[in-house]
Amino acid sequence: MNLQQKLSAKTAVVGVVGLGYVGLPLVLAYARAGFKAVGFDIDPKKPEALHRGESYIKHIPGEHVEEARAAGTLDATTDFRRVSECDAIILCVPTPLDHHFEPDLSYVTDTLESVVPHLREGQAISLESTTYPGTTDEEVVTRVEAAGFKVGTNLFVVYSPEREDPGNPKFSATNIPKVVGGITPACLDAGVALYSAAFEQVVPVSSCKVAELTKLLENIFRAVNIGLVNELKVAADAMDIDIWEVIRAASTKPFGFTPFYPGPGLGGHCIPIDPFYLTWKAREYGVHTRFIELAGEINRSMPKYVIHRAMEALNSRGKAVKGSRVLLLGLAYKANVDDMRESPTFELMDRFLELGAQVDFHDPHVPVVGKTREHMNWAGKESVAWSKEVLGSYDCVVISTNHAAFNLDELAASADLIVDTRNAMAAVATREGQVVKA
């Protein structure tokens, strides 16, 4: 049987490389759809956890892993030789920026070096990592053809951008429409068959480049609009206007307006990073993406603004930042998840520490800071306990992420100064001057 026939009969084996926030829900989706799904990761702790029937990502229930293991549809390994067992291989590895805000494709290229030697005829390989237009052609196809395959004839190459939204209860891995582009029409057919087997809706596009730019557009749209509202927040604060009230009022317009909300900076693997993949690629064509770069500059400046507001608030109480005890509420980059990637809270902690403050954090989803690429100095630091006594012992409490688990009434009853970057305290009874919005 060919690939499409195997997918239709659910006898195909689907491999997913990279078992993080994108790869784990994806490999579980195929396992739950009745396929033999094999997850690959260089970190042995992840396959070991899956073999025990455990999830290591908080918003992904362990029961889903247990069910797939009990059904015999889920396996996981660090042995890339097993790529040859798979009929389709989906790559879900990080694509960060380097210190010059230029693409770092080392995870993609290193993964391809591990995968390509074990490919065989008839397989499909799909890249899901967010990247600049042309990556699939330049990096995947080049390596596959150098290994002796003819793309579109005896091996099929596609690109399908991940659209995960961790912690969003409305959307799972499979009910978000799946955009797919192929190198050739035959590749596109293979990609549509691969993703139709597990996803409710597949959106085919004319090329991998179109699919690559689609993902960038989605996140650039958000980054630019968040940059706009962050800039307006600073202007509104200077005019003594509550930007959150302005957004609520503007949101009553039934057309022509989409609400975006300010914050302490951008977090997650997508919005702070993805726009710069297009900026970098556009320079190759002599194009200057001014909107993208300006939005990035504004969003990267927001932690500094939060620090400035906190300093002003402490000064108004006769206290300097140096020597003050500061508590950050929320280390994860968004509410109700344990995802710390690119979290602006790290920069807030760094800046407070540089200014001489004693810095702690509380996050029920992140009991201890794990290893990160850019903030290794915080690795191993533990979340402090939540209690009225603990909250009251700090000179300043900064709400950087508004987790539902926070008891905001208790916070208001305990903390002397609250710097609120998320408008979390809007509906909570507080004392005059107790809350400073930032």
Q: Which are the catalytic amino acids?
A: 270
DSSP 136: I
Q: List CB contacts of 214: < 8 A, sequence separation 6 or more.
A: 161, 179, 205
Return d(Cα 390, Cα 411) in angstroms, integer: 10
Half-sphere exposure of 191 (CA within 13 A, CB side): 32
Q: How many CB atoms sit inside 10 A of residue 59's CB? A: 16
| Sole residue written with tokens 């990556």 | 135
Helices (H), 147-289: 185-196, 208-238, 243-250, 274-284
End-to-end, the C-alpha distance of the chain in Å comes to 60
C-alpha dist (Å) from residue 311 to 297, 316, 430: 22, 9, 20
> Torsions phi, psi of 28, nearest 5?
-70, -35
CA proximity to 128, closest of 87, 159, 83: 159
Q: What CA–CA distance (Å, rounded) separates 213 from 322? A: 46
Nearest to 206 by CA among 224, 188, 219: 188
What letter does residue 205 receive in the DSSP assignment?
-
CB 27 within 8 A of CB 37: yes
Q: Do 375 and 350 touch, CB atoms closer than 8 A?
A: yes
Angstrom CA distances, 101 to 130, 244, 296, 339, 371, stand at 15, 31, 10, 21, 21
